[in-house]
Amino acid sequence: MAAAAALRSSAARRLLRLAPAAASALSAASRPAAGVVPLARPIAALSGGNNLISWNLRRFFSSNEKHLPAISDPEIESAFKDLLAASWSELPDSLVQEAKKAVSKSTDDTAGQEALKNVFRAAEACEEFGGTLVTLRMALDDLCGLTGENVGPLPGYIEDAVKAAYNRYMAYLESFGPEEHYLRKKVETELGTKMIHLKMRCSGIGSEWGKKSIG
C-alpha cells in the first residue's frame, strides 16, 4: 500500500519523466543513428571547458531553510537535511542507507516522511541523469581532441542526444510546484552546472540554455 501511494506522488511521476532520458541519451551517444546526416554545427575547443563551478552546498541549504517543509521527526529531519546538503553527483552509501531507514520507519510525521521521499527520489534521479550528462560531455571531449584540434561539425546523433537531455531537464524543472522551490533550486544546482558544461563545448546553441538560473 505504501509503495502504491509513493508511485502516485508527484515526485514519482517526475522521476518517471526524467529517468528515460538516461537510457535514450546514452544509447544515442554511444552509436551513430542510421540515416542521420551530421549537422554543420562547430564544436567549441576545449579551452576553459574543464573549469569547475564551485558550490557551497551548506550555504545553499541555509539560504533556503525558511522555505523548507516543517519536519517534527528528528531522524527524518536529519536525513532530509543531509540529503539537501550533499552532492548528488554520487550519493554516499551511508547517506542512502540513512535515507532508506528514515523513509521506512514508523512515525507520526507522515508529511515530513513524504517530503524526505520526494528529496530522496530527486537525488537518485539527479545522480542517474547527471551521469548521462557527463557521458555526453565526455563524448564531446573525444570529438574535440585533447586541445580542440578536431573542431568540426557536430554529428547528428550527438546533437539529438544533447537536445533530448536538455528537453528532459527543462521538463523536470517545470514539474516542481511553488511549494517545492527549495527542491527545484537544488536540482538546478546539481544538473544545471553539467548542462552549462555541455554548452561550453558547443557553439551555436540557443540562448535558451542560459535562461535558467543554477544559483
d(CA 75, CA 64): 20
- The tens digit of pLDDT for each residue in 131-172 reads 989 888 888 888 776 666 666 677 778 878 888 888 899 999
Residue 116 has pLDDT above 60, yes or no: yes
**Per the domain annotation, does 81 fall within a domain?**
yes
pLDDT value, residue 66 = 60
Query: Which of 165, 190, 161, 134 has its CA nearest to residue 18?
Result: 165
Alpha carbons 90 and 19: distance in angstroms, whole number: 16
Higher pLDDT, 46 or 178: 178
Beta carbons of 208 and 50 less than 8 angstroms apart: no
| Residue 129 domain-assigned (yes or no) | yes
Instruction: Tell me the residue range of the domain where 76 lies.
Output: 2-31+40-210
User: Grid coordinates in use for 100?
Assistant: 532508506
Q: What secondary structure letter does DSSP report for 66?
A: G
Q: What is the pTM of this model?
A: 0.67
Q: What is the mean pLDDT of residues 179-206?
A: 83
On average, the pLDDT of the chain sits at 71
Mean local confidence (pLDDT), 176-200: 89
Q: How many CB atoms lie within 10 A of CB 48?
A: 9
Instruction: Establish if 215 belongs to a structural domain.
Output: no
Please give the backbone phi and psi of residue 153, each rounded to the nearest 5 degrees, phi first. Answer: -60, 145
**pLDDT of 57-101, one tens digit each?**
444 444 555 678 999 999 999 999 999 999 999 999 999 999 999
Mean pLDDT of 12-20: 45
Longest dimension (CA), the chain: 61
Cβ-proximal residues to 150 (8 Å cutoff; 6+ apart), any chain: 43, 143, 144
Confidence of residue 201 (pLDDT cuts 50, 70, 90): confident
Tell me, what amino acid is at 114? Answer: E
With both helix axes pointing from N to C terminus, report the angle between 110-144 and 74-85 in degrees, rounded to the nearest 10.
Answer: 20
Residue 204 has pLDDT above 90, yes or no: no
**Candidate from 8-17, 172-181, 200-209 with smallest mean pLDDT:** 8-17
Q: Model confidence at 24, in pLDDT bands (50, 70, 90)?
A: low
pLDDT for the residue 46: 28
Q: Phi-psi region for residue 133, left (φ > 0), alpha (ψ -120 to 50) or beta?
A: alpha
The predicted structure's pLDDT at residue 106: 95
Rounded Cα distance between 57 and 146, Å, is: 31
Tally helices (H) and strands (E) across the chain.
Answer: 9, 0
- Alpha-carbon distance 10 to 27, whole Å? 27
Are the C-beta atoms of 12 and 121 separated by less than 8 Å?
yes
Number of structural domains, the chain?
1
